[in-house]
Structure 1
Amino acid sequence: MRVGIVILADQRWATAAERWRRAEAYGFDHAWTYDHVGWRDLVDGPWFDAVPTLTAAAMVTSRIRLGTLVASPNFRHPVHFAREVTALDDISGGRLTLGVGAGGIGGYDADVLGWPALSARARVDRFAEFLDVLDRLLRDEPVTVRGEHYAAVDARGTPGSVQSPRVPFVVAANGPRSMRLAARYGTGWITTGAKTTDLDQWWRAVRDNADRFDETLAKEQKDPSTVDRYLSLDAAPVFSLSSAAYFADAVGRAAEHGFTDVVTHWPRASSWYAGDEAVLEEVATGVLPALIR
């Protein structure tokens, strides 16, 4: 089991830099940040962009993998984003993992640019186009395409990714069409389970999603061993770092359902992911070393 941590981009770098250093020193396998123009009630700030944040994080770390959790087409165009991803992969020495998702309905990212709202089906259609163009560019293929949502004219991805054949994608998917995209493009799949206030119900949804993804891989004739399975623990109604014991139990349950990776969040003083950094310290010293990774 590998364990990752999300560090929200809600602190100035003078504060945030030490968190990224500590994440590596603690022994986390991967560290992530959200890719949003603004997020929920934190939209009034402070809030910082994911790409320069990860660039800075790459400069203060040397081992830990870094990534977006998750980038979405709500405000990104695959042609320009491919340039940013290529640069990040190069600067990090091939430590970038790109978490990608279809983008939510409503919310600040979906509304801030004033574009018309999309249905769930249209969002997945857009996501499929986004992944196709991004995949090809990161493989250093010239792309000319005019789709329903994106156009590109002789777009280039040179010099291509440091990693071969390209930067790995971890595709967020809970529904059947998105799961098919995860099977096609992903070296990893991540799920959030279901929205519920009942913890047992959430774990049942996680198990059901894992089963459906296994079925999707079989239908797509994709070798299951080539796709890692990530679980966002804090989509549950209980914060995963509420105690070290709870965290250890959650990791164990995730492993039972076939997940290879779990992701927690850096505790915040209040609001989302409110918690105590002392628990993070306890997990780092008492739980992470015991995991077989």
Structure 2
Amino acid sequence: MRIGIVLLPQDRWAVAAPRWRRAEEYGFDHAWTYDHLAWQSLVDEPWLATVPLLAAAAGVTERIPLGTWVSHPNYRHPVPFAKDVMGLDDVTGGRFLLGVGAGGTGWDADVLGERLTTRERTDRFVEFVDLMDRLLTQPVTDWSGDHYTAVGARMHPGCLQQPRVPFVVAANGPRAMAVAARHGQGWATYGRVADDDGLSPAQAQEAWWARLAGVVERFEQVLAEAGRAPGSIDRYLNIDAAPVFSLASFDVLQEGVERARALGFTDVVVHWPRAEGVYAGREEVLEEAAARLDELRSAG
């Protein structure tokens, strides 16, 4: 089991830089940041750009893989974004991971004045990933699709990682899972969110894990239909989508890692604790988790 950590892009670099260094020093297996223009309850809080942040993080780390959790086509076009991805692969020395998803609803889904249905977003996502794969694996690309056009799009000198940077495809529904099965070196999920009003925190936690088991079962079916071996793709769980924050205590994290392993996940991703609001927690718990990463990796 590998343990990764998300650092939200909210702090000025003078504050953020030591945290990215600490993520590597702590021994986490990968480090990520969100790729949004703003996000949910934090829409009116500070929120900085993703690509320059990861480029800067590459300069203060040496070994830890760095990635987007996750990029999406709500405001990204594959041609210029593929250049960014190639650039991040270069400045990280081949440590970049592209987390990619369909994009949800919310502020940065509407900011460009385009509002799509779930089906339309999924259609666009399928084409987005197909074209990103094409752009990052060949020097010149021409493309004419329903959502994107590329005319002689050059991608020289190409990625350091071959045949391209790894894709970690976030997917909960069958069509997006098929994209993960076709293009993904990794599959990521946050489980399935539902209305758990009326349940205690413990009951809501159990309900989330039960729904997650169903998502895993569906992904296994999609892999089988695609003719892909179950062990040929890494499986990432956003464990902080559960009702109880993973770093509420070390015991909560340890139990979550054990349950994720039992469902076949190879990687779990936690969030650097915030002072308040979403992902609120104490850095002392993060420090304890970091000191006991080997125990977490081998638990269960």
Normalization by structure 1: what TM-score?
0.97
Structure 1 counterpart of 2:117, from 112, 116, 119: 119
What amino acid is the match of 2:257? V
Q: Give the structure 2 partner of residue 170 of structure 1.
A: 168
Partner AA of 2:157 in structure 1: P
Please state how far the C-alpha of 1:195 moved relative to its aligned partner: 1.1
Distance 1:270 1:35 in 2: 21
- 1:216 matched to 2:222? The reply is yes
Query: Aligned partners of 1:4, 1:279: CA distance in 2, in Å?
Result: 15
Q: What's 2:265 paired with? A: 259
SS in 1 for 2:177: helix
CA distance in 1, matches of 2:296, 2:122: 39
Q: Distance in 1 between matches of 2:292 and 2:75?
A: 40
Is the counterpart of residue 231 in structure 1 residue 237 in structure 2? yes
Tell me by how many angstroms 1:44 deviates. 2.1
Question: Helix, strand or coil: the match of 1:211?
Answer: helix
Please point out which of 237, 245, 260 is paired with 2:251.
Answer: 245
Aligned to 2:80: 80
* One-letter amino acid of the structure 1 residue matched with residue 245 of structure 2: F
Measure the CA separation in 1 of the matches of 2:45 and 2:154.
Answer: 35
Deviates more, 1:43-52 or 1:267-276: 43-52
Deviation, structure 1 residue 200 = 0.8
SS at match of 1:55: helix
Asked if residue 45 in structure 1 is aligned to residue 42 in structure 2, the reply is: no
Structure 2 counterparts to residues 53-68 of structure 1, below 5 A:
53-68=53-68
1:171-223, Cα deviation, whole Å (9 max, x unpaired): 00000100001100100001111113411111011111111111111110112
For residue 190 of structure 1, the aligned residue among 188, 191, 207 is 188
Judged with a 3 Å threshold, the aligned counterparts in structure 2 of structure 1 residues 165 and 292 are, in CA distance, closer, same or farther, namely farther
What is the distance in 1 between the residues matched to 2:238 and 2:230? 20
Q: Output aligned runs, 1:87-106, within 5 Å.
A: 87-105=87-105
Task: Give 3-state SS (helix, strand or coil) of 1:229's partner.
Answer: strand
| Counterparts of 2:42 and 2:108, CA distance in 1 | 12
CA contact (8 A) 1:27 1:288 kept: no
What corresponds to 2:278 in structure 1?
Answer: 272
User: What is the one-letter code of the residue matched to 1:240?
Assistant: S
Residues 238-247 or 283-292, more deviating:
283-292
- Separation in 2, partners of 1:290, 1:102: 31
Which residue of structure 2 aligns with residue 33 of structure 1? 33
Q: Specify whether residues 290 and 108 from structure 1 end up closer, same or farther in structure 2 by C-alpha distance, changes over 3 A only.
A: closer
Supply the distance in 2 between the matched residues of 1:280 and 1:232 (Cα, whole angstroms). 16
Distance in 1 between residues matched to 2:179 and 2:285, nearest whole Å: 36
Q: Is the 8 A contact 1:28 1:288 kept in 2?
A: no
Cα pair 2:5 2:30 within 8 Å, conserved: yes
Q: Please give the alpha-carbon distance, in whole angstroms, between the structure 1 residues aligned to 2:229 and 2:92.
A: 29
Q: Residue deviations 1:219-278, cap 9 Å, x none? A: 101122220001000111110000001101100000000000000000000111000000
Structure 1 position 128, deviation (Å): 0.9
Residue identity matched to 1:155 = A
Matching residue of 2:107: 108
Q: Count residues in correspondence.
A: 291
Q: Is the 8 A contact 1:136 1:142 kept in 2?
A: no
The one-letter amino acid of 1:119's match is T
Distance 2:269 2:121 in 1: 25
Cα distance between partner residues in 2 of 1:213 and 1:40:
27
TM-score normalised according to structure 2 size: 0.95
- Specify the code of the residue in structure 2 equivalent to 1:85: V
Offset at residue 119 of structure 1 (A): 1.1
What is aligned with 1:156? 154
Contact 1:3 1:261 in 2 (8 A): yes
**Post-superposition shift, 1:46?**
1.2
* Aligned amino acid, residue 59 of structure 2: M
Q: Secondary structure at the match of 1:263?
A: strand
Residues 173 and 282 of structure 1: is their aligned pair in 2 closer, same or farther, counting only changes over 3 Å? same
Segments of structure 1 that go 5 or more residues without pairing to the other structure are none
The answer as to whether partners of 2:257 and 2:296 remain within 8 angstroms in 1 is no
Counterparts of 1:141 and 1:123, CA distance in 2: 28
Q: Which residue of 1 aligns with 2:201?
A: none
Q: Displacement of 1:289 after TM fit?
A: 4.6
One-letter code of the match for 1:16?
A
What letter is aligned with 2:116?
L
